[in-house]
Structure 1
Amino acid sequence: MGLDVPIVNAPMGGAAGGALAAAVSRAGALGMIGMGSSATAAQLRNELTHVSGLERPYGIGLVHWVMSAQPDLFEAALAARPALLAVSFGGEWSWVERAHDAGVPVAAQVADATAGRRAADAGVDVLVARGAEGGGHGEPRLGTLPLLAEVLDEVSIPVLAAGGIGSGRGLAAALAAGASGVWLGTAFAACTEAATPAGVRDLLLAAPADATVTTRLFDVAQEYPWPTTIPERVLRNEFVDRFEGHERAIDDETKAALAAAVVAQDFRVAPVNAGQGVGMVRAVCSAAQVVERLHTDGERLLRRWGQPDQ
């Protein structure tokens, strides 16, 4: 894809908009526009204005069940002709051929080696081995490094490592293990170009690595039809403390209170997605600064370890 740096920003719904994707791509990595649980074709077309005229490759990320419910969202993504289209969290693969017919390479997240083989057999071009440490939604089956090793042994297509990677050391470790690159979410969430609210940035900067929890509480309360096998990793807050283990206590009044908190950006109640790499997010930087820091530190460590530069 003509990348200078083996880094892809995860297409985080609500954070990874067109502005972040453009900044990451201009820095020599691959920027991804994220369309999350509440995505629409109109929202995607609005974010695409940020990459209009961009001379670097960029990608788009969709959630399979959202795309299936809104076929025009998939059509809008194909019409944009991204360098990579990632569609995750589904077991149906007819979209792969349609994307290829449009000349668009595709990626999918996997949580174990069996899923990796199925995706590769379906024609997926790039796999994202998303470990349990990752923020947002995912299947928390294996840690990133064990998962990466299993998937690499199972397939011959490029594999990106995801989950808990937020430093040059993590980048170097993934590359040394055989990954073609890394897929980073939390590391970019506090960037100046991200669509992250100021309150979320403050929480990310203050959070230690052990401040996250994997839960379905917010999906239940917001009535998002995520499968029970795909919870999300978020920063622990008052809502989690109150309802963890008590999902049946989430009534209509609670749902309304959560909806109001989301609108008011009250993150004592509203969710904040973050992976276990959050402890490495310590300053608000530009996307270019994050890419440069990780790449420079990663190359230095690879040289120390006797690995070729990437």
Structure 2
Amino acid sequence: MPELPENTAVSIHPAKKLQQVLGYAEPIFNASMAGAAGGALAAAVSAAGGFGMLGIGGNTTKEWIDGEAAIAASSGRPWGAGLMAWVLDKNLDPLEQVLEHGPSFVCISFGEPGPAAALVHESGALTGMQVGNAAELSRALEDDIDVVICRGNEGGGHGRNEVSTLPLLQLALEKTNKPVIAAGGLATSAGVAAVLGAGASAAWIGTRFAAATESMSHRNIKDAIGAAGIDDTIYTRAFDIAQRIDWPVEYGGRALRNDFSDNWAEDLEALGATVDASDALTDSINEARAKADPSLAPVYAGQSAGLSAAGQSAAEIVADLARFRSVLQQAAQRWEFA
């Protein structure tokens, strides 16, 4: 079982511990985004020196998991997977299936990770948990979680909307010696430098990788992300209500604003009544998703959409983010005094 090395007489920083155990060269993880982070993206990120993550959605089949996990492992480099705790509460099969492919790291988030975390540990992999507030952070400090991922409300996709990345990261670093990964609003080498300089072990990047060439997202979705600004997102449950998806109510989603959110995000009660009365709205959203129509379908993206471009490969993105070293060096020189 991979274990974080014990402290010796010379203290080893948690960031170095995690790097030693998981074997990445660059402290860059692609977020485990269901629908975007497939095997090709995970493999490309790992091959480029980062740590590739596979996103396991709520309706994935055994065949899909087997196929995508095999691709994720094809780089020959360590890789990981992310799953939703509230889905695993009903059925642990998706987790058992992905564990058969030997991931080094598994992130169990959005709910109580208990039995799932125990299963990951039995497999020999490290267990991570995304946290979005102080209560979730306290849960992640228990012994069954090895790595804490602080996801601020700037991040895209589902999560909490309570605390931004830097305050949450600072709190986590005060509370634990476990490796802490920062997530939410990160898309450039300067952003990576900021969280690593603060003490994070790595940066968890979602939106920029969602627009990468290896992402499973449709070209229309990638182009919409590339065209968005930093103030073009909205946090809402409207898309889940319209699609009748049973995400726990505390986990809304940050997505690009579009015609649908403009019409419904401010009146969820009326939206719920409309969905209850007819299938028409749900059918229209599902059709828009099938056609990748960003005017109606959810395009889950964080505020860093305004810092992301479509058409870049995962390797190009990792190489660009890896320039964090020069950013940190320049910052250190800027504040040196004779």
TM-score by length of 1: 0.95
Is residue 135 of structure 1 aligned with residue 156 of structure 2? yes
Residues 96, 122 of structure 1: 8 Å contact kept: no
Query: CA offsets per residue over residues 56-86 of structure 1, 9 Å max, x none?
Result: 1000111112222232101112212201001
**Structure 2 runs not aligned, ≥5 long:** 1-21, 334-338
State how far apart, in whole Å, the 1-side matches of 2:143 and 2:245 are: 27
User: Is residue 90 of structure 2 the alignment partner of residue 69 of structure 1?
Assistant: yes
- Specify which of 273, 284, 298 is matched with residue 257 of structure 1: 284
Equivalence for 1:304: 330
Aligned equivalent of 1:279, options 279, 295, 306: 306
Partner Cα separation in structure 2 for residue 198 and residue 53 of structure 1: 24
Unpaired segments ≥5 residues, structure 1: none
Partner of 2:194: 173
Amino acid at match of 1:189: A
Instruction: Please tell me the residue identity of whatever aligns with 1:41.
Output: K
Greater shift after overlay, 283-292 or 113-122?
113-122
Alpha-carbon RMSD: 1.4
How far the C-alpha of 1:300 sits from its partner, in A, is 0.5
CA separation of 1:37/1:98 partners in 2, compared to 1, >3 Å: closer, same or farther?
closer
How many Å separate the matches in 2 of 1:263 and 1:110? 31
Q: Distance in 1 between matches of 2:62 and 2:85?
A: 14
Instruction: Quote the residue 2:264 is aligned against.
Output: 243
Secondary structure, aligned partner of 1:209? coil
Contact in 2 for aligned 1:112/1:150 (Cα 8 Å): no
Residue identity over aligned pairs, in percent, reads: 40
Task: Find the structure with the greater CA-based Rg.
Answer: 2
Contact 2:24 2:51 survives alignment (8 Å): yes
| Structure 1 residue matching 2:332: 3-state secondary structure | coil
TM-score computed with the length of structure 2 as normaliser: 0.87
- Cα distance, 1:117 vs structure 2: 2.6
8 Å contact from structure 2 (residues 184, 302) kept in 1: yes
1:255 is aligned with what amino acid?
T
Alignment size in residue pairs: 306
* Cα shift at 1:49: 2.7
2: CA distance between counterparts of 1:215 and 1:40?
28
- Work out whether residues 39 and 66 of structure 1, in 8 Å CA contact, stay in contact via their aligned partners in 2: no
Offset at residue 178 of structure 1 (A): 0.6
Which piece of structure 1 moves more, 87-96 or 273-282? 87-96
Does residue 145 (structure 1) correspond to residue 166 (structure 2)? The answer is yes
Question: Secondary structure of the residue that 2:322 maps to in structure 1?
Answer: helix
Provide the C-alpha distance between the structure 1 equivalents of 2:326 and 2:189, rounded to a whole number of angstroms. Answer: 9
Q: Which residue of 2 aligns with 1:34?
A: 55
Give runs of aligned pairs for residues 157-196 of structure 1, distance below 5 A.
157-196=178-217
> Quick one: distance in 2 between partners of 1:213 and 1:6?
29
In structure 2, relative to structure 1, the CA distance for the partners of 1:53 and 1:228 (3 Å cut) is closer
SS in structure 2 at match of 1:32: strand
Aligned-partner residue type, residue 216 of structure 2: A
Equivalent residue for 2:14?
A: none
